[in-house]
Amino acid sequence: MTDTPQNPMQQLWQQQPAEGIHMSIEEIRRRAAKFEKRIIWMNAREYFAGAIGMALMGFFLVRAHDNLSRIGFGLTMAGLAYALLHLYFKGRPGTASEQVGVQCANFFLEELERTRKLVDNLWWYLGPLVPGLVVLTIAPALANPQPAVLLRLAIVDLFIAGAFVLVIRLNKRAARCLQKQIDELRSLQATP
Evaluate whether 128 touches 79 at the Cβ level (below 8 Å).
Answer: yes
Report, in Å, the least distance between residue 135 CB and other proteins. Answer: 29
Report, in Å, the least distance between residue 17 CB and other proteins. Answer: 10
Report, in Å, the least distance between residue 101 CB and other proteins. Answer: 5
Identify which of residues 18 and 62 has a Cβ nearer to other proteins in the complex. Answer: 18
Identify which of residues 67 and 191 has a Cβ nearer to other proteins in the complex. Answer: 191
Identify which of residues 63 and 176 has a Cβ nearer to other proteins in the complex. Answer: 176
Q: Could you give the CA distance from residue 61 to residue 136 in angstroms, rounded to a whole number?
A: 11
Instruction: Output the CA–CA distances (angstroms, integers) from residue 74 to 69, 71, 161, 167, in the order listed.
Output: 8, 5, 20, 24
- List interacting residues with other proteins (CB under 8 A): 1-10, 12-14, 16, 18-23, 25, 28-29, 31-33, 35-36, 39-40, 42-43, 46, 87-88, 91-93, 95-108, 111, 174, 177, 181, 185, 188-192
Evaluate whether 115 touches 178 at the Cβ level (below 8 Å).
Answer: yes
Which residues lie below 8 Å from residue 75, measured CB to CB, with a gap of 6+?
131, 132, 135
Report, in Å, the least distance between residue 82 CB and other proteins. Answer: 16
| CA dihedral for 100, 103, 104, 107, sign (positive or negative) | negative
Identify which of residues 95 and 144 has a Cβ nearer to other proteins in the complex. Answer: 95
